[in-house]
Amino acid sequence: MGTLSLSDFQEVRIPAPWGHIAGRWYGNPKERPILAIHGWLDNLGTFDRLIPLLPDYIGVLCIDLPGHGRSSSIQPGMHYSVYDYVYIIPRVMREYGWSKVSLMGHSLGGFLSFIYTSVAPHTVDMVISLDVLLPRSVTPKQAVDVEAQNMEKYLVEEDRQVRGDLLEPPSYTLPDLTKIVVKRSLNSVTPELAKHLLHRQEERSQLFPGKFYLSGDVRVKFYRLWKLEPGLSEEMTRRILKNPFLLIKASKSSFVGAQCEYAISILSQNNPHFEFYEVGGGTHHIHLKFPEECARYIVPFIRRHRPPTLRSEEKLKPQEMLFERSQNNQSKL
């Protein structure tokens, strides 16, 4: 056994009342995969550099959240909310008949994994959270101000979509489109890495030759995320019980900050399967910029909590399995 190939995947379309959830299933189609969920304004391309470092016996199903990538947008008049996004997880589980789920999420995807695990811990066999645990702290005034600004912008964009007075969003050259992706990631995504997100959302303009626009629903920019009250976040953390939980923090990121300290202490004291590591030199998109450093912790975690089944190992002779494991430990981690 080796690692996954970025070219070995099946396109996925999971039906939903508002359209479909798009995704790519990498690797083994016969075993229940890890469900990977990207961050806000990103898409499944965020895992492009991490996928080839993961063991191939298990497979990974990467999805685009509604309004992102190649997934459908929600209906006009509806509003995006992080708490509504959580329902995507059991929807995917029901589609494939899973009674358990393994989750890997970055940013918004990691927070969705945290919420779902706290609500239904009996259905989760492991969580890999990349540079997120709880939302970053904001003052009540900041929360209200942002909500007020987003409300007006949301209605303007909704009006534009309903009237259809613009056939497509503003278009740009590819270099300018790259700059936009970098800027909205707060420079966490470098220009060289932006291509991994663009391949799921760049669309060629039909009005201006040589220019492109970003697909996806602009309303996603104004999704709702209120601050969790300390008592609520603590209760959610306690409900994770003994679910294997891996948290990786980027050293130059503020996403896992002071607001997470108490939750981390609860997990450290109560959960024997909680692991917390910090990767140096990286910003929020740590898995995209330094995938090898993340894989150093992710691969052993996967092997501990989702080890190969007899079916996936039976193709190798015992001595070959030992050699392969040794090689993975020394050269791939």
Distance CA 312, CA 18 (A): 37
CA-closest candidate to residue 51, choices 36, 40, 63, 72: 36
Structure tokens at 327: 């090689």
Q: Tell me the β-bridge partners of 202.
A: 214
* Catalytic residue, candidates 72, 73, 102, 107: 107
Look at the block and give the residue holding tokens 């936009």. Answer: 180
H helices, E strands: number in the chain: 12, 10
Pairing state between β 202-204 and 19-26: unpaired
Distance CA 26, CA 237 (A): 31
CA 33 to chain centre: 15
Which three-class secondary structure state does DSSP give residue 292?
Answer: helix
Is 107 one of the catalytic residues? yes
Could you give phi then psi for residue 35, rounded to 5 degrees? -90, 115
Distance CA 17, CA 156 (A): 25
Q: Tell me, what DSSP letter sits at residue 333?
A: -
The CA–CA distances, whole Å, from 318 to 36, 80, 315 equal: 31, 51, 10
Name the residues annotated as catalytic. 107
